[in-house]
Chains A and B, each alone.
Chain A
């Protein structure tokens, strides 16, 4: 498979300039921001050296993976899945604990986070499964099987527990199911179920932080009560059931006939979702729930969970149009901005580079995702398209969740900004993803 000469000439001929310019811009501005964010440490070069090392290894990886035919992944998909599960299990056994999460292999001079690799492996495996079963995807059983593949990973990751890393799994799985042709109502049911299970405990936490509101607003306090009091929960669920059947009866009157199955399924989802919320509520710690919801109004806990968001918004906003100049941001250099090299790297760019650079970053991030989707569109087979879509979705959601988070639009989840944030594992996995994309891109024409 190693026809090096042809590979290089192909790359030169078929290079997607916008894709590479975006990639180079994102990586460079990321390095600049990391350097700026490390100036206050004894050895400011340390982080930038680690990052460049990961980048260099990643570039070699890109060349290696680009020359490797991606179609082979499909044939070894069960092996890949097994290997990824072993990785996730062994990290539970041998891993080291960082910030209450057992998710790292520590090799002394460097440490490695397996979940960064398994998330790409899952895309390869899920794409293979969907490629094999695309004709039956509308069947609920196949749909559920696909969910189970993701579910296996999610379960193992939640044992660490690493809640934030699971976040990208949901959109990737749902979008892959969508492009394969799964029924929209299946997907919507999952989304409804998920948002109920997640949303209820978070909203309750949010309202509990605002005792004044609870006292003044009887309705909200009734709903909050319902999470612990079975009686009021029954009243709420009962009234929802009544409402749904009322709507169905009304639609019948209008001669719009809806099968009895739909309202029943709808109600089942609501009920199971509501009850699953209890499990979610138990599995998340109080501070995690606070962190996830406080973005709605960071000032209610400005010295606790809301502190990071407030400081990040101050950092970004204070950059104004042209920024305070690189290495001159007061929020960054004086340490007001938390986690500046990793999760809040975008805020560093916002503060020091201003609107100019941060808008450019968003723009190039979008270009990068867009070109990745173009690769999916031009892939030679369904498998290639699915893998490329999965990777594009992963990048897109990491970007949206992270940038949304630092601007106070999304929960504080601790998801890094791929390609920009400091971190060897995530940089490596991004490069692996780029390498696979290249492999698909280079083999887009049937004749190769």
Chain B
């Protein structure tokens, strides 16, 4: 009891109030303690993470991507260097100030816009300017004091050789987009990284990507570097060796550009392994210029240069499909190749008339002859005899309507129509007419040039169908360890009697010797080929040729198409001929069948003869 002069009751009321105050303070301090517990014990790990993030500034030294060689050891994709201006965030400055950007614009004479990065996180570096010249680099270094946070670094840059010709094979690289980052982050990609787009750059990205080096720096709040932790040197990506022959690519592309429309594709495959020696799509684009103004031109170009016709374009196979009908007829129907049919230029089925390639008709001819001159009537009859089921089965045996599984992305499957499909899709029943045009590769049958080349490989191999591939091996650039080696993969062995292959070989050789592909003819090399002039409801016919050589002991097979080119024998065959010349190293054409045979070929494959009336 205190307070001598006051009575007890006032003192007691005082004491009660003190207690209330004490309780209030206790509650308030308990709140503080609870919040402290929440921050440090419950959320501690989160905040520890955040503090580490803002303390450590990882400077990346970008690794070069792997070098890509062709089958002869020539570099197709290499690396150059490129200077870029980066912005490192510091203190409360997360973006370069407008002033800094203005200064930069003055130095570089560019028009960089101030921007706000919404997805910004601690420690993220922003790329401000690309492709700086050495002069510009020095100017920036001089003015460094006025450009807070700006650093110039050297970055590897991809360069492509024969970039236009090789574009369908190589693809290109581009920066990882923000929307992809979420899924790619787990694979170690970060903003600003490059990733392959199309071609082997995409499908072998895993191998081609180098391992970025760099330095973990401790930075203070002002963005100044305090300490550096261990430096990691960047590691170049692995070297990739292709099956592609750069010279054939060039020759094929050149030949395609010289054709009537300049649109088309060519695929060359080594029949012994399935190795793709060339894969060309024309017109193409320059992979070195993808990130310049050119790209917009590519997008607008009506000839679609960005479209990889070799694996993405779908065409009716036309008469080249007769090869499959031929095999089916001999193997399935045990057709005697000497069996003859009368061709008078048209084929009547019910109330419809289907025309032959020759209006006048080929007369009475056997199977070999029908193949040589590409007689439709003979094959219409074969189609009727085989029936749609057998035709579909044999088409599928050669993997039509199915991706070949080549190791570059975005391959199209093509399509093989069936009666069930027609019923479901068009609500119509399958007619015999559908079967007969199927037999000559028309109708709703769609194939890619690659599929036809692969089919030709199987024919050349007497039924062994190799999966086509582009990458031979991948080698670690530093210690030469082989990381990946392709072993030829037989997708299927197409079973047919030896006689079938022999007769087919004979027929296809005849096509070159005295038939529709006579322009392919080369001295010393015996070629087997089949032309096709595929009907196209949207415009001019597509010109096909499929071939392999040497006919006796095949080494390579090819498929060439010239889109809307017209007659296969006239338009596509010269392309094939150029390719064979390059492959077999024949400097001179040897003979000039083109001139001699012009009139005759016209007779056989002349335009307007292939009309099929529905």
Contact = CB atoms under 8 A, between A and B. Distances in A.
Interface of A: 175, 178-179, 181, 303-304, 307, 313-321, 330-331, 334-336, 350-351, 354-355, 358-359, 362-363, 365-366, 369-370, 373, 376-382, 385, 389, 392-393, 396, 399-400, 403-404, 407, 409, 444, 446
A373 B37 CA distance: 26
Contact of B32 (A303, A318, A380, A404): A404
A389 B21 contact: yes
Q: Which of B5, B36, B43, B218 has the most CB of A within 10 A?
A: B36
Contacts of A317: 39-40, 43-44, 46-48, 50-51
A44 B274 CA distance: 75
**Chain A: interface secondary structure?**
helix
B92 to A, nearest CB: 5
B31 A385 contact: no
Q: Which of B5, B18, B51 has the most CB of A within 10 A?
A: B51
Given A307-B92, A381-B5, A400-B28, A334 B21 contact: no
26 contacts: A179-B14, A181-B17, A315-B51, A316-B36, A317-B48, A317-B50, A318-B47, A320-B44, A320-B45, A321-B44, A334-B218, A334-B219, A334-B226, A336-B55, A366-B26, A370-B22, A373-B18, A373-B21, A379-B3, A380-B2, A380-B4, A385-B3, A389-B21, A393-B21, A396-B28, A409-B31
A401 to B, nearest CB: 10
A318 B31 contact: no
Nearest to B22: A373
A319 B37 CA distance: 11
A407 B39 contact: yes
B599 interface: no
**Chain B: interface secondary structure?**
helix
Nearest to A134: B10
Given A321-B41, A381-B5, A350 B36 contact: yes
Contacts of B55: 330, 334, 336
B40 A354 contact: yes
A202 B220 CA distance: 33
B35 A355 contact: no
A380 B1 CA distance: 9
A409 B220 CA distance: 27
Contact of B40 (A303, A350, A381): A350
B18 A366 contact: no
Given A359-B36, A376-B18, 18 more contacts: A179-B14, A307-B92, A316-B39, A318-B48, A320-B45, A321-B41, A358-B40, A370-B25, A377-B18, A379-B3, A380-B2, A380-B4, A382-B14, A389-B21, A396-B28, A399-B29, A404-B32, A407-B32
Contacts of B39: 313, 316-317, 350, 407
B40 to A, nearest CB: 4
Interface residues of B, number: 44
A378 B28 CA distance: 24
A335 B51 CA distance: 12
B54 interface: yes
Contact of A335 (B13, B29, B36, B222): B222
Nearest to A320: B44
A357 B497 CA distance: 90
Contacts of A446: 2, 4
Nearest to B92: A303
Contacts of A382: 3, 6, 14
A355 B22 contact: no
Q: Which of A334, A385, A404, A444 has the most CB of B within 10 A?
A: A334
B220 A334 contact: yes
A355 B47 CA distance: 13
Interface in B191-234: 218-222, 226
A179 B21 CA distance: 9
B142 to A, nearest CB: 29
A358 B28 contact: no
B15 interface: yes
Nearest to B219: A334
The 9 A-B pairs at the shortest CB distance, nearest first, are namely A317-B47, A320-B44, A318-B51, A335-B221, A334-B220, A355-B40, A318-B47, A318-B48, A366-B29
A370 B18 CA distance: 10
Contacts of B87: none
Nearest to B35: A407
B94 interface: yes
B410 interface: no
A377 B3 contact: no
A400 B32 contact: yes
